[in-house]
Amino acid sequence: MVLLEVRGMTKEFGGLRAIDSLDLTIEKGQIFGLIGPNGAGKSTAFNCIAGAFAPTAGVITFNNETINGQKPWNLCKKGLARTFQIVKPFASKSVLYNVMVASFATTNSRQVAEEKAIKVLESLNFADKKDILSSNLTIADRKRLEIARALATEPKLLLLDEVMAGLRPNEVDEMVEVLKKIREQGTTIFVIEHIMRAIMALSDRIVVIQFGKKIAEGTPKEIANNENVIKAYLGEDYVAA
Amino acid sequence: MNYKNINKVALVAILLIAFGLPLVIRSATYLHILVLLFFYAYLTTSWNLVGGFAGVLPLGHAAFVGIGAYTSTILFLQYGISPWIGMLVGGVLATIAGILIGLPTFKMRGAYFALATIAFAEGFRVIVENIDYIGPFKINGPRGLQIPPLDIGLANFMFASKEPYYYIILIMLVAVVVLTYVISRSKLGYYLNAGGEEPEAAMALGVNVARAKLIAMAMSSFLTAMAGTFYAQFTLYIHPKSIISLDLSFEIAFIALIGGRGSIAGPILGALLLRPVGDFSRIYFGDTLPGMHLIIFGLVLILVMHYQPRGLQEPLTRLYNNLIRRITHNTTGR
Amino acid sequence: MYYIIEDTINGILMGSIYGLTAMGLTIIFGVLKVVNFAHGSMLMVGMYLAYWAVTLSGMHPYLAIVLVAPAMFLFGYTLQNFVIKPIFIAEKNVREPLTVIIVTTGIWYILDNLTLLIFGPQYRSLADNPLNGQMLEIGEMFISVPKLYGCITAVITALGVYWFFQKTDMGRAIRATSMDREAASLMGINQYKIYNVAFGIGAATAGIAAVTLVPFYNVFPTVGVLFDIKGFIIVVLGGLGSIGGALAGGIIIGIIESVGPQFMTATWTEAIVYGLFLVVLFVKPSGLFGQKHDW
Ligand SMILES: Nc1ncnc2c1ncn2[C@@H]1O[C@H](COP(=O)(O)OP(=O)(O)OP(=O)(O)O)[C@@H](O)[C@H]1O
Ligand SMILES: [Mg+2]
C-alpha cells in the first residue's frame, strides 16, 4: 500500500529552484532513504511534505489524501511527524516535558500523555534522562529527543532529517538499531542521511537528488553502483572503500 | 513529614493568614493598602497567563482594566445594571478586543504583538480621554466617572467598610492562581510553553501555536477586565489617566517579569515585593529626588533580566526548597 | 484650498522629521530584531546635547550635528556593548529574546528620570536661534524653515545610511548579519560587534533628528516618550527594518496630523493614527513597504 506519494513537487525561493519536479512513492512499512550533496534540497523537500512550506507546484498525497498546503499541526495529527536537522528542543524544559508536548497530539489527558511519553522514552532507552533539562543534553541525546518527540505523536510516517549527523560511530550503530525497531513496530520511515554506512544498511529504497532533481532511485546496491551517483555524490573513494 | 506535605501545610497556612488578616488588622488605611496589593497581584497573575506562558509581551493591559471599569460603571450609572453583571460584560468586550489584537499579530514576530498592544491601549486612552459620549454611553472624557455610594450592598458591589473588598479581591486572586495552576498542568499550558519557546518545533508536533496564544490572550483579557470593575467599585471613581495609562500597562508587565514570568508564584511575589518598595521609594524620594524611584525601578529591571532572567522567583524558590530540605532532613535524620 | 496644500507641505516636512526620529528604531530592529524602547530617550539625550552645545557656544544649531552625531554613536555603541549585549549572550538559545526589549525599557526609565534629576522638569528652548519662527512665503502659503531644513536633513540622512549599508564593507557585514545571524557568524563576522555598530548608527540618526528638532521644539525630560510611541507606529506602518519605509511612514503620520485638524478635532486625528496602525497590522502586517514577514 502506498503511504506517501509525491508528484512533480517544485519549490522556488525567489529565483532559486530548490526542488525541481520531484517524484517519489513510499510504501507502507518501508525505510526510504533520501541522499544528495549539501544544498541539494533534501530538507526543503521535507519542509514541503510536512507543511512548513507550501510547495510552488506538485501534488503530495498522504494516506490517500492530498495534503498540499495543509498546516503542519494538522498533518501531525494525521500521522505525519518530522524531526529538524537543526534540533529545536524546548530548551527550558525537561526531556519528559518535551515529549509530553508531542504526546498531547492524540490525547487531552495529562496522565495519558505522561504515560505515553514515558513509554516512548523507554523504547528509546532514554527514560533515565527524563528529568534532565533538554538544554543540558549532549548532541546525540538531543537528536534522540527529536526522534522521541516525533514518535510520541504516534506517526504513520516519520521524517528524519540527519538524525545521525554528529554522532560517534558506536552511537550511529545504536541509532540504526533504534530505527529498525521503530519500523518493526509499524512506522514507515523516510530518512535523510549523509552517513552512507547507515543509510545503506537501513534503507529498502533510496532516492538521490542533486540541485533539486532526482538523479537516481533504487535499492542501496543499485545506488552504490550507479555511475551518476558516484560522480555526483559518493565520489570514487566510496567505491574503493 | 515529607516535602509535599510541608508544601501543603505552608499553602494552607498562607491562606489562613490571608483570610484571617482583617480580624487582626482593623485599620482601614492598612486594609486599603493590602487590597491594592492584592489587586496588583491579581493583575500580574492574569497578565502572566499570556505574557508568561505564551512567550509574548503584552504591554497594553491597562486598556482591559479600562474596558472593565468603564463598561460596568456605565451600565450601572445609566441603566442600573449590577456591576457583577457589568463585570462579565466588560470581560466579554475585553476578550473581543484581545482576540482582535492577537489575531493578526500572533503569526508574526513578538515585537509586532508588543507594539500592537501599546497602540491599542494608547488609542483607547486617547478616545476615552477626549470624548464625552460614545453613542448613548456617557464616558465623560478626561473628567472620568464617579459612582455615588448610595445603594450600598452586595448586589451593587458597594460596601461601607474595606473588609468585603478585601475578601472579594482575595478570592479573585486565589481563583486566578488556581486557574493558572490548572492551566500550567494542562494540554494548553504545555502548548503555550512549547509555542512560546520554539514555534516551528511546536507546530510540527501538532500545536496550533497561534490558536493557543489566542486562547491565553482571551482569558487574560477577560480576567484583567474583571479587575477593572473591581477597581471602579473599590475607589468609586475612574478616570482615563489613572487606569488606562501606559504606566499601568508597563507596571503590570514589569512586576510580573521581575517576579518571574511563566511561573505561578513569580507574578505574585513581584507584586508583593515591588509594590511596597515602589511606594516607599516614591514617598521617600518623591520630593527631594524626583524620578529616583523610577531610576531604581529601571535598574532593578535591568539587573534582574541580567542575572535572573526567569525572575526573582527562581532564587527564592531555591532558598525555600533548601530550607524545607534542611527541616525534613533534621526531623527524619534522627 | 491653499490651506490644505500648505498643511500638506508642512505635514510632509514634519513627517519626514518623524521619519528621521524613527529611522534608528528601524535600523536597530532590522539588525538586532528587537524593538529599542529606549529610542525616544536616546533622542531626548541628543536634544539635550544639542541644546547645551548651541546654548553654551552660540553656534548655528545645525553645526551641532558635528558634535551630536558622533557623540550619540559612541553613546549607542557603549550602551549596546555594556548593557544589552550581556543579555543577548545570556539568551543565545532564545529565538526572540524579549528580555532585551525589557532591558531597553529599563534604560528608558533610567535616562528619562536621570535627566529629570539633573535638569529638572522645565521646558527649554533655543529662543534666539536663527531658525526660530522663520517662515518661507510662497504666494499665500507659509512654510516653516526649520522644518524644511529638517526634511532635507532627513532625506540626506536616509540616503547616507542607505549608501553605507549598500556600499561599505561594514554596511554589507551588517546586512549579512541582519539576514542570517548564523551564516554571518560562520563567515567570521562578529555578531555582537555588528550589533554595537548598528546600535551606534541608530543612536547617531537619533542624534541628527535631535538637532533638527531643537531649533523649533521644546526640550524636556519626557520629550522622548512622544516620539517613542509615534516611532513605533511609523516603523510598523513603513515595515519594520525598512529605512525608506520609516520616512514614508513618518510622512503619512505628518500629513494626517497636519491636514486632519481641518476636518475634525485634533483628538480624532490622533485616534485615526492609532486606528490606521491597527488596520495596517490586520491587512498588511509586514507594513506598507516592508518585506514579507520572515516567519
Ligand atoms: N527558507 C529558505 N529561503 C531561501 N532559500 C532556502 C531556504 N531554505 C533552503 N534554501 C535554499 O535551498 C537550497 C536547498 O537547501 P536544503 O536545506 O533543502 O538543502 P539540503 O539538501 O537539506 O542540504 P544539507 O545537506 O546541507 O542539509 C539551498 O540552496 C538553500 O540555500
Ligand atoms: Mg538539510
Question: Does A233 have pLDDT greater than 80?
Answer: no
Name A29's Cβ contacts closer than 8 Å, sequence gap at least 6.
A183, A186, A188
In a 3-state reduction of DSSP, which class is residue C142? strand
Q: Tell whether ligand 1 has an atom less than 6 A from the beta carbon of residue A41.
A: yes
Q: Confirm whether A94 is domain-assigned.
A: no
Backbone angles phi, psi at A232, to 5 degrees: -80, -30
Sequence spans of domains, chain B:
3-333
To the nearest whole number, what is the mean pLDDT of chain B?
90
Nearest residue of A to residue B184 by CA position?
A110
Q: C193 C-alpha to center of ligand 1: Å? A: 28
Query: Residue A41: nearest ligand to its CA?
Result: 1
DSSP chain A: -EEEEEEEEEEEETTEEEEEEEEEEEETT-EEEEE-STTSSHHHHHHHHTTSS--SEEEEEETTEE-TT--HHHHHHTTEEE--SS----TTSBHHHHHHHHHGGG-S-HHHHHHHHHHHHHHTT-GGGTTSBGGGS-HHHHHHHHHHHHHHT--SEEEEESTTTT--HHHHHHHHHHHHHHHHTT-EEEEE-S-HHHHHHH-SEEEEEETTEEEEEE-HHHHHT-HHHIIIIIHHHHHH-
Cell of B181: 495552576
pTM for the model: 0.91
Q: Model confidence over A51-100: pLDDT tens digits?
A: 999 999 999 999 999 999 899 999 999 999 999 999 999 988 999 999 99
- pLDDT tens digits, A99-135: 999 999 999 999 999 999 999 999 988 999 999 999 8
Q: What share of chain C is helix, strand, coil (3-state, %, to 5)?
A: 75, 5, 20
Q: How large is the greatest C-alpha to C-alpha distance in chain A, in angstroms? A: 55
Rounded distance from Cα B124 to ligand 1 centre (Å): 45
**Residue A129 belongs to a domain:** no
Phi, psi at A57, each rounded to 5°: -150, 165
The full set of domain ranges for chain C reads 2-283
Closest ligand 1 atom to the C-alpha of A47? 18
Q: Which chains does B contact via 3+ CB–CB distances below 8 A? A: A, C
Backbone φ, ψ for residue B269 (5° rounding): -55, -45
Does ligand 1 have an atom closer than 6 angstroms to the CB of A13? yes
Q: Report d(CA A146, CA A137) in Å as an integer.
A: 12
Distance from the A88 Cα atom to the nearest Cα atom in chain B, whole angstroms: 6
CA distance C246 to A141: 46
Which pLDDT score is estimated for C264? 81
Mean pLDDT over B135-155 rounds to 87
pLDDT band at residue A235, thresholds of 50, 70 and 90?
Answer: low
How, if at all, do strands B133-134 and A16-27 pair? Answer: unpaired
The second-level CATH assignment, the architecture, of C2-283 is Orthogonal Bundle (1.10)
Residue in B198, B206, B310 nearest the CB of A90: B198
φ and ψ at residue B146, rounded to 5 degrees: -115, 140
Using only C-alpha atoms, chain B has a radius of gyration, in whole angstroms, of 21
What is the residue range of A164's domain?
A: 2-85+156-240
Please state, in angstroms and rounded to a whole number, the distance separating the CA atoms of residues A113 and C215. 66
* Residues B48-63, mean pLDDT to the nearest whole number: 93
- Over residues C272-283, the pLDDT tens digits come to 898 888 888 888
- Of the candidates B16, B110, B90, B57, the residue with the CA atom closest to the CA atom of residue B252: B57
Residues 6 or more apart from C187 whose CB is under 8 A from it? C176
- CB-based contact B200 A89, cutoff 8 Å: no
A218 is a domain residue: yes
Contact B137/C at CB under 8 A = no
**How many CB atoms lie under 10 A from the CB of residue B134?**
12
Based on the structure, what is the number of domains in chain A? 1
Question: Do residues C282 and B104 lie in contact, with contact meaning Cβ atoms separated by under 8 Å?
Answer: yes
Please give the interface size between A and C, counted as residue pairs whose CB atoms are below 8 Å apart.
3
* Contacting A residues, span 27-56, partner chain B, CB-CB under 8 Å: 50, 52
Residue C179 CA: which ligand is closest?
1
**Contacts A–B by Cβ distance under 8 A:** 74
Q: How far apart are alpha carbons B298 and B230 in whole angstroms?
A: 29
- Reduced to 3 states (helix: H, G, I; strand: E, B; else coil), residue C209 is helix
The Cα of B260 is separated from the nearest Cα of chain A by a number of Å equal to 14
CA of C284 to the centre of ligand 1 (A): 27
Q: Is the CB of A42 under 6 A from ligand 1?
A: yes
CA atoms of B103 and C96, how far apart (whole Å)? 19
- Decide if B281 contacts B289 (C-beta within 8 A): no
- Tell me whether A135 touches chain C (CB under 8 Å): yes
Share of chain A above pLDDT 70, in %: 97
Query: Can you give the pLDDT at residue A206?
Result: 94
Q: How far is CA C277 from the centre of its chain?
A: 17
Tell me: the pLDDT tens digits for B72-107? Answer: 999 999 999 999 999 999 999 999 999 999 998 888
Amino acid at B249: S
Cα separation, B327 vs B321, whole angstroms: 10
Identify the burial level of A172 via C-beta atoms within 10 angstroms of its C-beta, where 0-12 means exposed, 13-18 middle and 19 or more buried.
buried
Please report residues of A whose CB lies closer than 8 A to that of C94. 91
pLDDT above 70 coverage of chain C, percent: 97
Provide the grid cell at C218: 521644546
Ligand 1 touching residue A142 (CB < 6 A): no
**Is residue A196 assigned to a domain?**
yes
Confirm if C208 and C24 have CB atoms less than 8 A apart.
Answer: no
